[in-house]
Amino acid sequence: MSSSSHPREVPAVPGPGPAPGIGRRRLLRYGAAGASALLATGSLTGCSSRASASDASALNVWDLFQGGDGMLMDDMIRAVSKGSDGFEVDRTILDWGPSYYTKLAMSAAGGRASDVAVLHLSRLAGYAPGGLLDPFDLDLLAEFGVTEKHFTPAVWARTKHEGVVYAIPLDVHPFIVFYNRDAAEQAGLLDPKGELAPMGSPKAMLEAGKALAEVTGKSGILFGHVTDTAQNWRQFAALYAQTGAAFTLPDGGPAEIDTDAAVQVVSFMQQLFDGRTNPNNLDYNSALAGFLGGRGGMAMLGEWELPTLRKSGIPLGAAPFPQVFGEPAVYTDSHSYVLPHQANPDPARRRQAHRYVAEILKQSLTWASAGHIPAYQPVLAEPAYAKLDPQSSYADAGKVAVLDPPNWFAGAASNFQNRMCQPLQSALLGNTSAEKAVRQMVREANTLLRQPNPVA
């Protein structure tokens, strides 16, 4: 997975800061790499004499896809750049983290906005209300074959601010479970089709951890959370949503949180990661290494780890985050396309921007090869997607997607996630009770709610 979802890329204490220089820029014309250029915010490098990055006809696109994801996005752009109606794309690749969102806001506010940009859907509430984004023309998107009916209701609902659509999702990237198929089979956890059977209750999941530990001779379920700024929140948010309780952060506060449900969830997390059957003191890398080394039968990770896990040779299975409480729910986020605000957008370029988004979505079977769930549902219906293993096993996570509460300070790489993780970490390490951890989470949420939105 790109670093855009990778927890190891998030700084220890995320927050706004100086915007460092742009990482890379490429001009893609019919799939060819473009020339070097300069942007006001930093130096950009590239190589080609095919076209200049100052070419006004090229569509300017900002994203944060590097590594394997970056190469997949190159492939998708090449695919939509073929033929007489192909796009010329001036692609700027920026480093993932809080600095990306600072640059995105500055570009929209300062009149240097790109035509299209990528935004985590969980961050929309921090950008649409402040006028940093322009809405999509749904009639224009429909002309290019993309409508509301092509997305799950759970994801589409988060594309809006005050009923207006400001984001078009490319994918859903959920927090799921990977498991060793051989270990799970020996532990009696597979259904007749060879997939992970439903858990259904906290007790069943506790028993699954014990059964996996007996098979491996080490640990059952591995979860890395120590010093991480997102992992504990991902797990808590999924389980809390499964209780049916709401986690609401109204502007100005106070936070509306069902503390009884929250305590129930944290208590279960403490039981699950008891330090014996399942370790309670692993960081992210240790948990990943433990699973790769056969020291655990299951690992709770983001789907973005699929390329790494595949290389290990483990008989790998994957499933949506298990439902153990009353409602199905999986914590997710979504890489989405947005239109950064432009004071006087050129109608022809805006039309091209809409067409570009629509055409990229139709290429998202390529995107799925890295583990991401395409948000554009027609791709999921393709026979080729059904053959993707284990991706098709957790595709239903998009139907029960749960994102961060829609508030300006929440979302990917946010200080909110970090501040929720600290008391949760303390509880899992046995340094505080579930009750005290929840009280601290509420206090932290109320502290953030008292802060004014800097772009409102």
- Which run of H or of E encompasses 377? helix 377-380
Average pLDDT for residues 245-273, to the nearest whole number? 97
Average pLDDT for residues 90-108, to the nearest whole number? 92
Q: What's the confidence (pLDDT) of residue 230?
A: 97
d(CA 91, CA 114): 9
When pLDDT is cut at 50, 70 and 90, the band that residue 430 belongs to is very high
67 near 2, Cβ under 8 Å?
yes
pLDDT higher than threshold 70 for residue 37: no
d(CA 414, CA 402): 16
Q: What's the confidence (pLDDT) of residue 48?
A: 26
Residue of 165, 125, 117 whose CA lies nearest to 453: 125
When pLDDT is cut at 50, 70 and 90, the band that residue 96 belongs to is confident
Q: What's the confidence (pLDDT) of residue 49?
A: 24
Q: Could you give the percent of the chain with pLDDT greater than 70? A: 88
d(CA 356, CA 81): 10
Instruction: DSSP for 196-213, please give it.
Output: BPP--SHHHHHHHHHHHH
- Which run of H or of E encompasses 421? helix 415-428
Structure tokens at 348: 């022809």
Q: Which residues pair with 248 in a beta bridge?
A: 256
Question: Is the torsion defined by CA of 87, 78, 64, 372 positive or negative?
Answer: positive
pLDDT higher than threshold 70 for residue 390: yes
Question: pLDDT, tens digit, for every residue of 107-129?
Answer: 999 888 999 999 999 999 999 99
Q: What's the confidence (pLDDT) of residue 97?
A: 86
d(CA 154, CA 226): 30
Domains of the chain as residue ranges with CATH: 7-173+333-402 (3.40.190.10), 175-332+406-449 (3.40.190.10)
Structure tokens at 61: 């696109």
Q: Share the mean pLDDT of the chain.
A: 89
pLDDT higher than threshold 50 for residue 20: no
When pLDDT is cut at 50, 70 and 90, the band that residue 296 belongs to is very high
Question: pLDDT, tens digit, for every residue of 368-381?
Answer: 999 999 999 999 99
Question: pLDDT, tens digit, for every residue of 348-366?
Answer: 999 999 999 999 999 999 9
Average pLDDT for residues 291-304, to the nearest whole number? 97
Question: pLDDT, tens digit, for every residue of 312-352?
Answer: 999 999 999 999 999 999 999 999 999 999 999 999 999 99
DSSP 8-state assignment for residue 46 = -
d(CA 347, CA 362): 23
Q: What's the confidence (pLDDT) of residue 56?
A: 61
When pLDDT is cut at 50, 70 and 90, the band that residue 25 belongs to is low
Q: What's the confidence (pLDDT) of residue 44?
A: 28
pLDDT higher than threshold 60 for residue 170: yes
When pLDDT is cut at 50, 70 and 90, the band that residue 35 belongs to is very low
pLDDT higher than threshold 80 for residue 21: no
Average pLDDT for residues 408-418, to the nearest whole number? 95
When pLDDT is cut at 50, 70 and 90, the band that residue 39 belongs to is very low
Q: What's the confidence (pLDDT) of residue 456?
A: 67
